[in-house]
Amino acid sequence: MKVLVTGACGYIGSVLCSMLSEQGHKVFACDNNLHAPDPPNVVRRLRSSFEDDFIIHLVRVYDIDLIVHLAATSTVGPDSTDPLLYLSNNTAKTTIFLEKLKNAYWKGHFVFASTAAVYESCQEPLKEWFKVDPSSVYGYSKSLCEQVIGYANRYDIKTTTFRFFNVAGAYNGFGEEEGDTHLLSRICHSVANNEQLVVFGDDYPTRDGTCVRDYVHVGDVCAAIIWALEEEKQGTYNLGSERGTTVTEMIEQFTMHTGRAVNYTVGPRRPGDVPSLIADPSLFCRMSGFQYKYSIRDIINSSWEQY
């Protein structure tokens, strides 16, 4: 397969490029981070934004029939102070990208990276047909993208949307990196640099007062994406483990599996955070036969080894 990956130098993108290459696919990488190293074993790296006209030219010239759209502004928290950045980078640019593909008469398969943040956090585990009512601008921007992508089928563009829950871990030297804002990356950074970790709130209505999240290994997420590409299956699917872990429990499990204590303090809540997000991933598993490979222990150990 010839696959274009946007956001290819990012956390998930670098692992996906690595796994696609391992399986013999030809990978074209697009990322506007000029300083990021090239993803592994790509046919060509484009240091530009995914909605540039040159990307559409490349899609035509190389006859690319599969696109994985990972590029986004994704941190929850800053979206409350700069909401237009998220709506512009995520929603508007994705719309422009799809319009350019439509105008180029592209008829391929478009896989979109959405998020659990689109859900209204109420009843769990969350199923794909539950109400979409995001509490953060980031989640709202992604929910709008999902609506836009829904129209792509009218132009014979096949689409698959994956709602990622909390992607974590590392794979073959790719994945978690210094400076990432994910909880596990922040834990690793604090321990490696002997710094204090800040936990964003301990007064949520959960079993220990800290947020509950569904952590899924980046290797499992990328394997699911590749399956969707190879099988050309369409639809909207959760990618999670149906296993909720609080922030405090993740800290405790990190210490248990690595033997390293975490020095942390409790700070104020982070804007946009909801008490709990746990997936029901059974729809994708039933439809595909997909089985998750990695445990919480694997996630923690792979992240710590990366540091």
Whether 138 is catalytic is yes
| CATH code assigned at 54 | 3.40.50.720
Please give the helix or strand (H or E) that residue 60 lies within, else none: helix 53-61
Total domain count for the chain?
Answer: 2
Q: What is the CATH number of the domain that holds 257?
A: 3.90.25.10
Cα angle 61-67-72, degrees, rounded to a multiple of 5: 120
- Domain membership flag for residue 287: no
For the beta carbon of residue 282, count every other beta carbon within 10 angstroms.
Answer: 14
Tens digits of residue pLDDT in 191-209: 999 999 999 999 999 999 9
Residue 175 shares a structural domain with residue 100 = no
User: Which residue out of 138, 215, 237, 294 is catalytically annotated?
Assistant: 138
Note whether 267 and 200 are within 8 A (CB): yes
93 and 196 part of one domain? no
Q: Where are the alpha helices (DSSP H) in 177-242?
A: 183-192, 218-231
Give 220-231 pLDDT, tens digit per residue. 999 999 999 999
Q: Both 142 and 251 in a single domain? A: no
CB 253, CB 301: distance < 8 Å: no
The percent of residues in the chain predicted with pLDDT above 70, rounded, is: 98
Mean pLDDT (the chain) is 92
- Mean local confidence (pLDDT), 87-93: 95
The model's pTM:
0.94
Q: Which residues contact 270 (CB under 8 A, 6 or more apart)?
A: 76, 77, 200, 201
Phi-psi region of 80 (alpha: psi -120 to 50; beta: other; left: phi over 0): alpha
- Establish if 284 belongs to a structural domain: no
Residue 106 lies in a domain: yes
Residue 290 counted as domain residue: no
Q: Report the alpha-carbon distance of residue 111 to residue 127 in Å, rounded.
A: 19
Residues 154 and 175 in one domain: no
In this structure, are 113 and 143 located in the same domain? yes
Q: Is residue 289 part of a domain?
A: no
185 vs 200: CA distance, rounded Å? 15
**Does residue 25 surpass a pLDDT of 90?**
yes
Q: Could you tell me the pLDDT band of residue 177, with boundaries at 50, 70 and 90? A: low
How far is Cα 167 from Cα 216, in angstroms, rounded to an integer?
5
Contact 66, 109 (CB under 8 A): yes
**Which pLDDT value is given to residue 160?**
97
Could you report the per-residue pLDDT of 113-155, keeping only the tens digit for each? Answer: 999 999 976 678 999 999 999 988 999 999 999 999 999 999 9
Question: Could you tell me the residue range of the domain that residue 29 belongs to?
Answer: 2-167+215-239
The confidence band for 259, taking pLDDT boundaries of 50, 70 and 90, is very high
| DSSP assignment string, 73-102 | ---TTGGGT-HHHHIIIIIIHHHHHHHHHH
Query: 82 and 138 share a domain?
Result: yes
Distance CA 289, CA 225 (A): 14
Between CA 180 and CA 186 the distance in angstroms is 7
Structure tokens at 260: 């390293």
